Amino acid sequence: MNLIVDVGNTLVKIAVFQEDKLLEKQTVEISKFEETHKKIFENYPKIQKCILATVGRLPKEVMISLEKQTEVLILDASLKFPFHNRYATPTTLGVDRMALVAASVKHYPQHNVLIIDAGSCITYDFITHQNNYLGGAISPGLRLRYKSLHNLTANLPLLDTEMPKSITGDSTAAAIHSGVVLGIIKEIDGVIDDYRKKYPDLTVILTGGDVNFLSKQLKNSIFANSNFLLEGLNFILEFNTN
């Protein structure tokens, strides 16, 4: 039984896997992680190993507590991965992107796969059917675009995410929704179209926090999977410990 811990800047995603089966997942604030992970071990005493992926930072005492309860593998570029990393600067590749590519190898081996992670940023990662990870792209996500318009201008309001009724906004709020939401939808569809011109058999995965909001709006055929990152982390853990 495996414990998966994905630490962001403010939130921690926690999951428990029995082999490939997801038994439980939670998302908590970093400040509540210690309390939560202790309850996880009480509920799943057969947890034997853990993988920790972090872009944020856990308090030292929390790390010590975690390591006392199970074997902890920290995700970084020094681990073994189930793909050939052709990124020019592999040590700068985000751990979340490593995990997403690993998940694509697990679920779609020997396929040309484009993984799109729609979260705070939108990341695009491409791996060939020959198992070569080539890289991708990074652009601002939905909330980052809304916040940038508000924070970097004098008069534009900060709005909640909303699907626009028309491409032509007839008010400032409607124009912002059109620019942000439709802009992202057009961007994602455009990137997919460009990849498909070169790789007609392309498999496209959409994941991340905004997957449910965006998936039904895209014209391209995709597979939506909100657990893709967690599944990739579990696969990397198994790949390095078995």
For the segment 209-231, the average pLDDT, to the nearest whole number, is 92
For residue range 161-177, list pLDDT tens digits in order: 999 999 999 999 999 99
Backbone angles phi, psi at 222, to 5 degrees: -140, 165
Residues 6+ apart with CB under 8 A from 109: 131
**Distance between CA atoms of 96 and 175, rounded to whole angstroms?**
33
Domain ranges in the chain are 2-74, 84-233
Q: How many other CB atoms sit within 10 Å of the CB of residue 221?
A: 10
Backbone angles phi, psi at 154, to 5 degrees: -85, -30
Residues 6+ apart with CB under 8 A from 111: 104, 129, 201, 203
Residue 55 has pLDDT above 90, yes or no: no
- Please tell me the predicted confidence (pLDDT) of residue 56: 62
Cα–Cα nearest to 49, from 13, 2, 7? 2
The question of whether 96 is a catalytic residue gets the answer yes
- Angle 181-202-206 (CA atoms, 0-180°, nearest 5)? 35
What is the CATH number that goes with domain 84-233?
3.30.420.40
For the segment 212-239, the average pLDDT, to the nearest whole number, is 93
Backbone angles phi, psi at 62, to 5 degrees: -70, -40
Give the residue ranges of the annotated binding site.
6-13, 87, 94-97, 117, 120, 172
In one-letter notation, the amino acid at residue 231 is E
Looking at 76, 96, 170, 189, which residue is catalytic?
A: 96
The matching CATH number, chosen from 3.40.190.10, 3.40.50.10780, 3.30.420.40, 3.40.50.300, for 2-74 is: 3.30.420.40
For the segment 181-186, the average pLDDT, to the nearest whole number, is 97
For residue range 1-53, list pLDDT tens digits in order: 999 999 887 788 999 999 999 999 999 998 888 889 889 999 999 999 999 99
For residue range 144-153, list pLDDT tens digits in order: 999 999 999 9
For residue range 88-145, list pLDDT tens digits in order: 999 899 888 999 999 999 999 999 999 999 998 999 999 999 999 999 999 999 999 9
Same fold, 2-74 and 84-233: yes
Tokens of 109: 């081996």
Give the residue ranges of the annotated binding site for K(+).
117
Give the residue ranges of the annotated binding site for ATP.
6-13, 120
**Distance between CA atoms of 3 and 75, rounded to whole angstroms?**
13
Sort 231 into a burial class: Cβ within 10 Å, 0-12 / 13-18 / 19+. buried
- Please tell me the predicted confidence (pLDDT) of residue 178: 97
